[in-house]
Amino acid sequence: MKKILLITFLYCSLYINAQLNVGYQKPHASIQQLADVTPPPTLILDSKGETGILLYRNSFKTIDELSQPEMRLGGLRINPMANISSRQIYFYKASILDVKSGKEHEILGIPADAKLSTASWNNEEDKLAVLNTTQDKLELWIVDIKSKKAQKLIAGGLNSNLDRPYIWMKDDKNLLVKMLPENRKSLIDSKIQVPTGPTISESDGKEAQNRTYQDLLKNPTDEFNFELLATSELFLVDMKGTAKKWMNANMFGSINLSPDGKMILINQVEKPFSYIVPYNRFPNATNVYDLNGKLIKNVFNEPLSEVVPKGFSATTIGPRNINWRSDKAADLSWVEALDGGNPAEKAEYRDALYVLEYPYTSEKKLIHKTKDRFAGIQWGDNQNAIVYDSWYTTRSSRTTLINPSTPLEGTFTYNERNSQDVYSDPGNFVTEENSMGSNVLAMDKGHLFLIGEGWSAKGKFPFIDKVDLKTKTKVRLYESNLKERLETITTALDIRKGQYITRIEGKSEYPNLYIRDIEKGTSKQITFNKNPFEAIEKVHKEVINYKRGDGVELSGTLYLPVGYDKDKKEKLPMLMWAYPREFKDAATASQTTSSPYQFTSISSGSPLYWVARGYAVLDNAAFPIIGEGEKEPNDSFVEQLVGNAKAAIDAVDKLGYVDRERVAVGGHSYGAFMTANLLSHSNLFAAGIARSGAYNRTLTPFGFQSEERSYWDAPEVYNTMSPFMNAHKMKTPILLIHGEDDNNSGTFPLQSERYFNALKGLGATTRLVMLPKESHGYVAKESIMHMLWEQDQWLEKFVKNKKTDKTKFP
């Protein structure tokens, strides 16, 4: 007995000594200089392009902000004090931009410690509503554009836990607002709640193959707290702040005003709740009310959705995508599956599109049937609408012009393609506001308009096309071809005048917005953001193209340090960063969507910091995983992964820039999964960085990423692809970083913890860094700076100084 106790004590001592009490660190000055910059403001432009709201934010949250109270219920993360998402990104300042003069005007009255979010124009666009979050409440403010003043309309008590907490009414004199119930009960602290019995779940024999969701309800206490936080009363609030009760308490979700402003479509969550799916799959009711809050039509009561057929093209039975028909005053539209929602069922048509005309006394009317799964609609008028459908397994995408007044007749397939074939993308149809203020297809003299990205083998050339609705032919009105700059057409201001909002950028030219007049051939700059990354504006940047061993064409963006002499070709250490993507054919996998003229921007998770540290960086290296015909991409995942990596290293090595013995690989999420697999199955790298990954695929047994098969359908695929199952093959140093509160499906913190334990137990060189309070993406300044420090230390020791550094890692 004494021997057993002694062994236990020694084991605990060793475990404790293995933990390193390192406080938050800051990275090398050259990295910190690039990371700690102030982002430019966000612009909210009115529909005429005359007035904009500039919203300013900080680069990061703080660890103190992330440490505020948080409740995780039904797939949500809620600040229970202020009743808004605990992960909300806030703006601290707002100003008004006069586009014509370019002048920026201060908005008077906004509090100095403002935390602004959820801004929305009224219908006339002479006022802006915006939320302000304080320590313990949520306020509603109104900005008057003419006077340039802000006033507090509601001093607190708004509830933003389920969807947007307010909408403008059509008259602009009132808003419909979700408010906390007056006699609201207190939340229960589950940590001190005395259990009244066990938590029990059961199966009725039906398959319920759900992904591994996080932050789900776990017990009756969670159910109580969720219902409490989700419940609101609806009030009609005028511009003086006078509030009138409009509807009694319920768990109100989305609220949408009809195009004519006379009806309101409300979705509300109902019971029973579930412990295996998030709240958006709880039972819910969709109803139409008039402006007095009288129930006009119960559209659909959707049951609990725990059981859905297998496959990414699977869906629910009954009405879905219930919404207003935007070209009509108050007609409804929705979609219903014709195949039971089951992709495995053979069917000539998968979905049916219906409309229900106001006043909802007639039967629903069939408008169109889609060959594949419905993917959206853009209404135009009685004769014109655009319907989209797609099918995941084949990656097919279809765009169809329909005539809503002649159901099932007069349809025309405008475009049918592989959804991953960006070179043949026809673009997106332009919309504009109709007389009711709803977005409909922009039409002029029998023509529609398209804005396209314009990717091709030669580069990116954004375009504007005009489509004749009679002949179905198109004419190109504009194609961008700027010299050593990149243009993106973002919005149509006025198709009749040929005015569009575009974004223009260059390698070292920060993206700014312009008004482009394609009729006059002119452009006017409307934002003037400066480059915050001047320290690397002279880095060498090029898109390199190369081939994988099997002939698949690949590409990546290569960066070389400022001042690097390409003639001398000093052998540099290199960091390669990537993210695998699945394809159904080699042709689309070979397409390039990178431009050397894109602005060299650095986000918190970017690998580009190490250009400033003397590394070559190959960013966005193509890592296609291809499964043609009946083959699934993941059937040969490892072989293709290694083939992609080898081709990338060979390509840069052939240019003479790198020391291939000092190459590191890294990635985030599925890129971390990639990194661990590459280090397990090849000897191409000196070290790796894996952030917030999943390493044991048996913990995601009903599919992951783009894999539709379950573990029991393809156990050999799951096992072969799992780095955890191959931990004994790891011989390369790997740095694991993970947010302690990761909420992404599949990437539980447990994934990194168990993988680290396996690697450590098998003698691999590894380090596990768990970032407190962080989710799947890291946001606190302290966390990000420390993450950069960890990565820099790892790369300096195991890559740059691989041959000489014998010091112990901090």
Average per-residue pLDDT for the chain = 93
pLDDT in tens, 319-336: 999 999 999 999 999 999
pLDDT in tens, 52-101: 999 999 999 999 999 999 999 999 999 999 999 999 999 999 999 999 99
Spell 221-233 as b/e; 16+ CB within 10 A means b.
bbbbbbbbbbbbb
pLDDT, average across residues 521-549: 94
| Residue 205, pLDDT score | 66
Q: Which residue has the higher pLDDT, 807 or 356?
A: 356
Q: CA Rg, the chain, in Å?
A: 28
Of 668, 681, 738, 776, which residue is the catalytic one?
776
776 is catalytic: yes
pLDDT in tens, 558-567: 999 999 999 9
| Residue 15, pLDDT score | 35
| Residue 493, pLDDT score | 95
| Residue 209, pLDDT score | 66
Angle CA 395–397–403, to nearest 5: 160
Instruction: Give percent above pLDDT 90 in the chain.
Output: 90
Axis crossing angle, helix 670-681 with helix 637-655, rounded to the nearest 10: 80
Reference 319, options 361, 290, 352, 297; nearest CA is 352
Residue 190 has pLDDT above 80, yes or no: no
CA distance 538 to 519: 36
pLDDT in tens, 402-447: 999 998 888 999 999 999 999 999 999 999 999 999 999 999 999 9
Spell 35-56 as b/e; 16+ CB within 10 A means b.
beeeebbebbbbeebebbbbbb
Q: Are strands 553-560 and 522-525 parallel, antiparallel or unpaired?
A: unpaired
pLDDT, average across residues 561-576: 95
CA atoms within 13 A on the CB side of 93: 11
Angle CA 137–141–143, to nearest 5: 160
Instruction: Give percent above pLDDT 70 in the chain.
Output: 95
Q: Is 258 left (phi over 0), alpha (psi -120 to 50) or beta?
A: beta
CA distance 19 to 52: 51
| Residue 11, pLDDT score | 31
pLDDT, average across residues 493-511: 95
203 is catalytic: no
pLDDT, average across residues 464-468: 97
447 is catalytic: no
| Residue 255, pLDDT score | 98
The pLDDT-based confidence of 9 (bands split at 50, 70, 90) is very low
| Residue 308, pLDDT score | 85
| Residue 199, pLDDT score | 72
pLDDT in tens, 35-48: 999 999 999 999 99
Q: What is the pTM of this model?
A: 0.92
| Residue 198, pLDDT score | 80
**CA dist 516 to 44, 433, 478, 491, 497, Å?**
18, 20, 10, 10, 10
Residue 204 has pLDDT above 90, yes or no: no
Helices (H) then strands (E): counts for the chain: 10, 49
The pLDDT-based confidence of 395 (bands split at 50, 70, 90) is very high
Q: CB-based contacts of 48: which residues, under 8 Å, 6+ apart?
A: 125, 493
Of 742, 745, 775, 783, which residue is the catalytic one?
742
Of 669, 680, 692, 722, which residue is the catalytic one?
669
Q: Which residue has the higher pLDDT, 2 or 502?
A: 502
